């Protein structure tokens, strides 16, 4: 009986750890248009058409978001050079838990980015949240190419920074080869 | 405390329990060094975890592994002598310590709650976010709770070792009532 219990316990841990690695792939599809708020002003995603975008939804209490933000801040020169626009949106109502605003968050973890032209800081609308984050992840980003196609979806930018950098680089190379 | 000291000196008299203790310590230390940073990696584990280790994580990993390294030989010792073991609190402590860093901010809770939400619709996705936020903002307190659980388990099992009728503990080592 005890052996069975121990076995079940080990299986439960392995199962939970395994599914924690799993993230639903959004697939390569056109990024749906919706809106978000920057300084209470409604901004449409369509406005960024033709640009390479990283659309990042995060909560300001989330640890992976803090290190993710710092990792992106470190790579800002490269991201800027590769012309990647990073739209950083605080989850709708910060995921239902109090925390600093997106500007306060940016001031604390990467002040230099507030003036960077390739960064947009805002708040997700309920509509955007329902479309892009229906499962309510505290940390999720979408890499959208200049044709408006979602080419990747992931979380924790610090752990996946290489993917983000290669996305920005590869698109640039493709554009170059077209010329 | 006396019970723990007495049972430790008794159990670790045998070389095999010392070896079990060292192996458990190393195994769990590595396990925790890999799993504790998953709150920073979004649930990803592996060599990447070492990149995100902080001093706080290393300290907790060391304490957890040390306590488990003491606990496992006690449990095996009692088990070998067919005596009563207290594995509930130990299992609880280990489970909570391993699963906590995965609760925020990996896809674990959204997937599990998405599944449960299919059966119990009242459990909305936002409930998962509240749980994740609570875990993220109270991680240290949860880990301190785990330490208490592991200490309690060590105490319970140490008491069983001291009171074990077949263990032939020298009279001077036996705990006085």
CA-nearest residue of chain A to B38? A64
Q: What is the dihedral of CA B165, B167, B172, B173, to 10 degrees?
A: -110
pLDDT in tens, B25-84: 999 999 999 999 999 998 888 899 999 999 999 999 999 999 999 999 999 998 888 777
Q: Pick from B71, B88, B72, B61: which is nearest to B143 by CA?
A: B61
- Is residue A121 included in any domain, yes or no? yes
Please state the pTM of the whole predicted model. 0.81
CATH number of the domain to which A46 belongs: 3.40.30.10
SS3 of chain A: helix, strand, coil, percent, to 5: 45, 25, 30
Q: Pick from B94, B109, B87: which is nearest to B31 by CA?
A: B94
The tally of domains found in chain A comes to: 1
- Is residue A9 included in any domain, yes or no? no
Per cent of chain A over pLDDT 90 is: 61
Which residues of chain A have a Cβ shorter than 8 Å from any chain B Cβ?
2, 6, 9, 12-13, 16-17, 19-24, 59, 61-65, 67, 91, 95-97, 99, 134-139, 154-156, 158-160
- Is residue A103 included in any domain, yes or no? yes
Interchain CB distance below 8 Å, A138 and B129: yes
pLDDT in tens, B108-156: 777 777 777 666 666 666 677 888 888 989 999 999 999 999 999 999 9
Mean pLDDT over residues A82-95, rounded? 92
pLDDT at B167 over 70: no
Give the phi and the psi of residue A58 in degrees, each rounded to 5.
Answer: -145, 165
Which residues of chain B have a Cβ shorter than 8 Å from any chain A Cβ?
35, 38-45, 48, 52, 87, 91, 95, 98-99, 102, 104-108, 110-112, 114, 125-126, 128-130, 132-134, 136-137, 139
Tell me: ipTM over 0.85: no
């Amino acid at each position: 009986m005890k052996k069975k219990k121990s076995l079940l316990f080990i299986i439960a841990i392995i199962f939970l750890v395994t599914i924690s690695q799993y993230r639903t792939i959004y697939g390569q599809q056109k990024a749906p248009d919706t809106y978000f708020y920057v300084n209470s002003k409604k901004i449409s995603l369509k406005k960024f058409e033709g640009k390479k975008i990283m659309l990042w939804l995060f909560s300001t209490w989330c640890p992976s978001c803090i290190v993710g933000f710092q990792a992106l801040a470190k790579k800002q020169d490269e991201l800027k050079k590769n012309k990647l626009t990073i739209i950083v949106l605080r989850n709708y109502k910060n995921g239902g838990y109090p925390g600093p605003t997106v500007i306060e968050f940016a001031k604390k973890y990467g002040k230099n980015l507030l003036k960077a032209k390739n960064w947009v800081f805002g708040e997700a609308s309920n509509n955007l949240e329902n479309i892009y984050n229906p499962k309510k992840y505290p940390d999720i980003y979408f890499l959208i190419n200049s044709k408006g196609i979602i080419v990747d979806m992931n979380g924790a930018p610090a752990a996946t920074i290489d993917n983000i950098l290669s996305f920005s680089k590869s698109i640039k190379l493709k554009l170059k080869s077209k010329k | 405390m006396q019970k723990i000291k007495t049972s430790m000196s008794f159990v670790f008299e045998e070389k095999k329990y010392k070896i079990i203790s060292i192996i458990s310590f190393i195994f769990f230390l590595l396990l925790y060094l890999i799993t504790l940073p998953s709150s920073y990696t979004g649930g990803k584990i592996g060599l990447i975890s070492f990149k995100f280790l902080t001093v706080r994580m290393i300290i907790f990993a060391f304490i957890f592994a040390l306590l488990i390294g003491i606990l496992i030989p006690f449990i095996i010792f009692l088990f070998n002598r067919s005596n009563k073991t207290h594995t509930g609190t130990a299992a609880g402590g280990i489970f909570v310590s391993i699963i906590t860093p995965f609760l925020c901010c990996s896809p674990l809770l959204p997937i599990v709650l998405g599944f449960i939400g299919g059966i119990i619709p009242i459990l909305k996705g936002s409930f998962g976010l509240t749980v994740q936020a609570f875990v993220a903002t109270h991680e240290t307190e949860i880990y301190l709770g785990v330490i208490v659980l592991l200490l309690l388990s060590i105490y319970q099992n140490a008491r069983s070792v001291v009171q074990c009728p077949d263990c032939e503990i020298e009279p001077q080592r036996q705990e006085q009532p």
